[in-house]
Amino acid sequence: MVIPIPVKEKRFCIKLSIRAHYPLSLGLAVFDPNRPNTFYFKRKVSFKPESFTDGAAIRHLSIPMPISSKHLNLALFEKGNEKDMGFDLIDFQLEKLEKKDVWASSERHRFMDFAIRFAQKAGYLPPNYYPSPKQEFLIHYQPSIRDVFGKQLVTPARIHRQMPYIQVSRSQFQQFSIPVRIAILAHEGCHYFNNTRSEKEADLCGLRYYLDVGFPSIEAVYAITKVFRFFDVPLEQQHLQRAKDIIDFISHYQQQPSLITSMQTK
């Protein structure tokens, strides 16, 4: 099932109600039909046996879309069944998503504006150097990131802590949704702006900005878990703790009233 959404680059929220007729895994994606590898949202929704009552189960979903392209498609499909006979879309609405003022310096706002624009295009851009409009920041989009000896690294992105120069792995970024790319770039930006080597500090700093803008929290969790899967070793305790810290931060964030104010500094 594919539903066209002529949103014209506006902020909005998708509200869905889905009824499943039997236990299944539902694929859900919001993407630009005119650009490859340009997913604004990707998720699997599970309808488990224990959720069924009187032969059916209903899930209500909300997908915040703080950024969009001119045209988007919403795709819903039953994984493993091309006929899509196991579910019905019983309600579909688009609601306006109010814009929030985000607390940050002007420099960081400019960096994130640049990062968001790059993330929207990263699925189809060729390897190259991509500077920000005022030449403040530079992304080196590489086929893959390698060390000084030419060995390929597993990291999807890394930044120089003394200058705003970011290396980004094209082979990895093409696999990610746009929000996941943004979460990763926000993390890297925090290494620079906070001048820190701490992964936890960069995680939570980047995550705060990401959530303040209005991106879906589930994609932030995916960002960290998808990065871990590129490592050739099992998840170690530090990785598990890192994921737990992110989930705890999101849970705490969602329980707090909105206290975001705007700070514009030169």
Q: Cβ of 105: how many Cβ atoms within 10 Å?
A: 13
Write down which residue in 77, 96, 115 finishes a domain: 96
Q: Is 245 left (phi over 0), alpha (psi -120 to 50) or beta?
A: alpha
In Å, how far are 148, 157, 170 from 131, measured between CA atoms?
23, 16, 16
* Residue 41 lies inside a defined structural domain of this protein: yes
* Residue 137 lies inside a defined structural domain of this protein: yes
Which domain CATH number covers 65? Answer: 2.60.120.260
The reply to whether 213 and 165 lie within a common domain is yes
The reply to whether 84 and 133 lie within a common domain is no
| Domain span holding position 24 | 2-96
At residue 229 the predicted structure's pLDDT band, cuts being 50, 70 and 90, is low
pLDDT in tens, 99-129: 878 888 899 999 999 999 999 999 999 999 9
* Residue 266 lies inside a defined structural domain of this protein: no
Per mean pLDDT, which range of 29-43, 78-92, 210-224, 228-242 is the poorest? 228-242
pLDDT in tens, 64-100: 999 999 999 999 999 888 777 899 999 999 999 888 7
At residue 237 the predicted structure's pLDDT band, cuts being 50, 70 and 90, is low
* Residue 188 lies inside a defined structural domain of this protein: yes
Mean pLDDT, residues 205-215: 90
pLDDT for the residue numbered 239: 67
The reply to whether 90 and 219 lie within a common domain is no
pLDDT for the residue numbered 200: 86
Whether 234 has a pLDDT exceeding 80, the answer reads no
pLDDT for the residue numbered 232: 46
- For residues 119 and 170, what is the distance between their CA atoms, to the nearest angstrom? 11
Which domain CATH number covers 183? Answer: 3.30.2010.10
pLDDT in tens, 145-199: 988 888 888 889 988 877 889 999 999 999 999 999 999 999 999 999 988 888 8
- For residues 243 and 235, what is the distance between their CA atoms, to the nearest angstrom? 10
The reply to whether 88 and 131 lie within a common domain is no
* Residue 261 lies inside a defined structural domain of this protein: no
pLDDT for the residue numbered 152: 87
The reply to whether 50 and 113 lie within a common domain is no
Higher pLDDT, 230 or 9: 9
Name the percent of the chain in helix, strand, coil, to the closest 5: 30, 30, 40
**Hey, what amino acid is at 7?**
V
Write down which residue in 47, 72, 96 finishes a domain: 96
The reply to whether 138 and 82 lie within a common domain is no
The reply to whether 137 and 235 lie within a common domain is yes
At residue 225 the predicted structure's pLDDT band, cuts being 50, 70 and 90, is low
pTM of the model: 0.88
In Å, how far are 10, 97, 137, 201 from 193, measured between CA atoms?
29, 29, 12, 11
In Å, how far are 15, 56, 216 from 76, measured between CA atoms?
13, 18, 18
The reply to whether 123 and 239 lie within a common domain is yes
The total number of structural domains in the chain stands at 2
- For residues 111 and 131, what is the distance between their CA atoms, to the nearest angstrom? 11
How large a percentage of the chain has pLDDT more than 70? 89
- For residues 169 and 92, what is the distance between their CA atoms, to the nearest angstrom? 36
pLDDT for the residue numbered 64: 92
Higher pLDDT, 166 or 245: 166
At residue 9 the predicted structure's pLDDT band, cuts being 50, 70 and 90, is confident
Average pLDDT in the chain: 86
At residue 262 the predicted structure's pLDDT band, cuts being 50, 70 and 90, is very low
Mean pLDDT, residues 190-209: 88
The reply to whether 89 and 116 lie within a common domain is no
* Residue 195 lies inside a defined structural domain of this protein: yes
* Residue 197 lies inside a defined structural domain of this protein: yes
Sign (positive/negative) of CA torsion 192, 142, 214, 187?
negative
210 sits in which H/E element: helix 199-213
The reply to whether 123 and 92 lie within a common domain is no
180 sits in which H/E element: helix 178-193
Write down which residue in 41, 74, 96 finishes a domain: 96
pLDDT for the residue numbered 228: 58
The reply to whether 124 and 173 lie within a common domain is yes
* Residue 191 lies inside a defined structural domain of this protein: yes
Q: What angle separates helix 237-255 from helix 217-228, to the nearest 10 degrees? A: 170
The reply to whether 127 and 71 lie within a common domain is no
pLDDT for the residue numbered 258: 42
